[in-house]
Structure 1
């Protein structure tokens, strides 16, 4: 069975939108908010989080953003890995998937992901794709979450979870603080959040 790992650059108030710049073609005021914290150690941590071999599991918007950037990016561990990885995409327009190797998840995205996860193969890495992330949690198909937490409060922007998402529990596996203030937290999925009744 494959492991599904969700990776995200995230602000202290949960925003994950456009950390590297205006790659999402939006008018988000804080695009590029993570860049001032980039350093060698953070980059090495991001590379390590992917593992030696992986495929990508992406929503259509994130796929399009990546397809516009990574094929033209300078060669490096992330660029080479992304370009070589098989991309599995949730989309209603499979005929327009040009950045390969690529395969659409079909009309039933949950069934498509479930079938992928049951196969033997490399880890499935999710970046961005907040809609896919919510689906994965809702159907218990998350194995690991790696959050690169930046010491910024953005106030607005797309968040890691939508307001309609259910509550889930994660268990901290490891936490590492870098010299730039970025904290890398690795969690494993631990199921639905159970609220204990307060003693009366």
Structure 2
């Protein structure tokens, strides 16, 4: 059985939005914090072999950028990975190797998770991450936390999502103060009522 590992670049106040859509004023906010050492830490966290589990918006954005990103470890890993995509338009998937998850996204994810193969990495794809957490399909959450407060923008966790518990595994700090925090999914949030 494969592990599902969520990777999110996130501000201290929970914003994951990076692109200048929906009149978001802070596009590119992660760029000043990027360093070769930080990139190396992220590549190590991804691991040597992986596949991708992506929402359609992230897939479309990445399919424009990564095939043209040149010969480097990050681009080579992402381009070689099989991309499993949550989409209603599977016939328009061109950046491969690729497969769609079918009409029932949750069933499709469960099916892929049960197969033999490398870990499934989820990057961005905020709608998909909430579904994965709600369904208990996540094994790890890796938060790449930047020392910024953005105030507004798309959040990591939907207001409609169910609360859950994570257990701390490890942390790594980059030269610019970005933290790579790894958590193991535990289950629904426990309360003392």
Question: TM-score, with normalisation over the residues of structure 1?
Answer: 0.93
Choose from 46, 52, 56 the match for 2:52.
56
SS of residue matched to 1:166:
coil
Q: Provide the rounded CA distance (Å) in 2 between the counterparts of 1:65 and 1:93.
A: 15
Q: Is 2:28 the counterpart of 1:28?
A: no
Which residue in 1 is equivalent to 2:64? 68
Q: How does 1:1-200 map onto structure 2 within 5 Å?
A: 1-18=1-18, 22=20, 27-197=23-193
State the shift of 1:26 in Å: 5.1
Runs of 4+ deviating beyond 6 Å? none
Count of residue correspondences = 193
SS of residue matched to 1:133:
helix
Q: Provide the rounded CA distance (Å) in 1 between the counterparts of 2:114 and 2:107.
A: 11
Gaps of 5+ in 1: none
Q: CA RMSD, aligned part only?
A: 1.1
Q: Provide the rounded CA distance (Å) in 2 between the counterparts of 1:177 and 1:72.
A: 29
State the shift of 1:154 in Å: 0.4
